[in-house]
Structure formats: structure tokens, C-alpha cells
Amino acid sequence: MSGKQTTKERVLQAACKIFSEKGFHEATVAEICETAGANIASVNYHFGDKEKLYDEVWHYAFSHATATYPVDGVLPENSGIEEGLYIFASAILHRIFSEGENGLFAKLLYREMASPTLALEKIATDYLFPQSQHLASLIQTMPDSHFDAQSLFLCTHSIIGQCAFYNFSRPLREHMIEKKTMTEEEIDRTARHIAYFSLGGLKEIQKDRSTDYSGFIE
């Protein structure tokens, strides 16, 4: 009928669009079905209910994001930590600024974070924590690394936070500022900044003040 896709495929595709634009709660099955050119009952018939459709959308989004922009991309032999940081930041930023399938994951994530669903626990366990773990491992490959657990945790958050901010500040770009997206060059420039900024941060923290902040202020 509409092209050669099946109704189920068209509904999944429409669901990706609507869920990523509106999040789970504000998306309606009526709009999804209408976008797919399918009947209102299609979601329940083909996927069971709205939640199971949402789960399938997440799986689809994660597959594309990690396949196209893996955070643990291959590093050149004997490369330093800054290359690893750059690969990580570049992957996250590309996901955030991608349109279409590769941008789905970040869009879903920033809505899920503010309005969690039953899917959150699986998302965190399967999709998010492994990436944090990879970053923590990377930090520990620094020369003369001696981060205690707490400092490692804080540094990991500092780096992820810098990247994730571009995801969560999305509406400030899209609703307020004239320029709505980044060019490939700007993304690269930002990823390099985060890599160098973080390298400097790690070096500063490594000056063994991690457990002794006495005399910090006053």
C-alpha cells in the first residue's frame, strides 16, 4: 500500500519519530498510527501495547547509535589518553547532533531522563553503564594513574557531563538560538575541546589533592 514496507515496519518507523520528538508520555498511539498511515489499532495488534512498542524503538535506536558511533572506537597503537577521550567525546556528540536513525538514541535518552518510564532500568543497565565503565577504564590508563575510587567516579562524571550537556540543553538551541545544528567541523572542534579540557582536568586532579583539600578556601 504505502511503499513496500509492512504496516508493522511503518508503525515502528513512525514511533521512532514521534517518541523521539515527544517522549513516551506525550506521544500518542493515535499520532503514531496516523503518521504511519495505519489504523489506530495497529500498535496493539502488532506490538501488544504502547510500552512494548517503546521497548522496540529503544532497541532499534541503540543498535544504530552504537554501530555508527561506538564510544570504544579503535585507537592507534601507542596513542595517549587524549586520543581515547577524543574518540569518546566525538562519538557522544555525533549521536547528539545526528538526524535520523543515528540521532534517535540521544533524543530518546534526554526525554527518558526527565520523565522516566518502566524502561529506564534496562536502559541504564544495558546501554549507559557499560559506556561509563569504558570511560573509567580509559582514565585509569593514564601514566602514573593513582585515582582513588571516588576521584575516578568524579572525573568520569566530569567528562560525561561535558558531553551530555549538549544533549540536555537541546531546547535552548532549538527554541532560542538561530543556529539549530552543528556542522561536522563544529562537532569535531567541540570534541577536541572536551578532550583537551578533560586532559587538563585529569592532570590537575592527579596532583594528589584528590584526598586532601585542606586549606582550599580561607
Interface with DNA (CB under 7 A): 1, 6-8, 27-31, 38-46, 49-51
Contact between 108 and its own copies (CB under 8 A)? no
Contact between 128 and its own copies (CB under 8 A)? yes
Query: What residues between 168 and 187 interact with its own copies by CB under 8 A?
Result: 168-172, 175-176
Contacts of 34 (CB under 8 A, 6+ apart): none
Q: How far apart are CA 60 and CA 2, in angstroms?
A: 22
Contact between 26 and its own copies (CB under 8 A)? yes
Residue 39 touches which member of its own copies, DNA, none, C-beta under 5-8 Å by kind? DNA
Residue 143 is inside which H or E element, if any?
A: none
Chain CA centroid to CA 74, Å: 19
Smallest separation (angstroms) from its own copies to the CB of 178: 14
Q: How far apart are CA 91 and CA 191, in angstroms?
A: 9
**Are 98 and 61 spatial neighbours (Cβ–Cβ below 8 Å)?**
no
Smallest separation (angstroms) from DNA to the CB of 168: 24
Residue 165 touches which member of its own copies, DNA, none, C-beta under 5-8 Å by kind? its own copies
Q: How far apart are CA 208 and CA 147, in angstroms?
A: 9
Stretch that binds its own copies, among 11-19, 29-37, 96-104, 195-203 (CB under 8 A): 195-203
Residue 29 touches which member of DNA, its own copies, none, C-beta under 5-8 Å by kind? DNA
Chain CA centroid to CA 119, Å: 16
Angle at 197 between CA 201 and CA 148, to 5 degrees: 25
Contact between 154 and its own copies (CB under 8 A)? yes
Smallest separation (angstroms) from DNA to the CB of 171: 20
Alpha helix positions (H), the chain: 7-26, 29-36, 42-47, 50-68, 81-97, 104-114, 120-123, 129-139, 149-168, 170-171, 184-205
Q: Look up residue 159 and give its three cell numbers.
A: 567528562
Q: Single out the residue of 30, 40, 41, 120 in contact with its own copies (rule: CB under 8 A).
A: 120
Contact between 218 and its own copies (CB under 8 A)? yes
Residues that bind its own copies (CB under 8 A): 23, 25-26, 76, 79, 83, 86, 110-116, 120-121, 124, 128, 150-151, 154-155, 157-158, 160-166, 168-172, 175-176, 189-190, 192-194, 196-205, 209, 213, 216-218
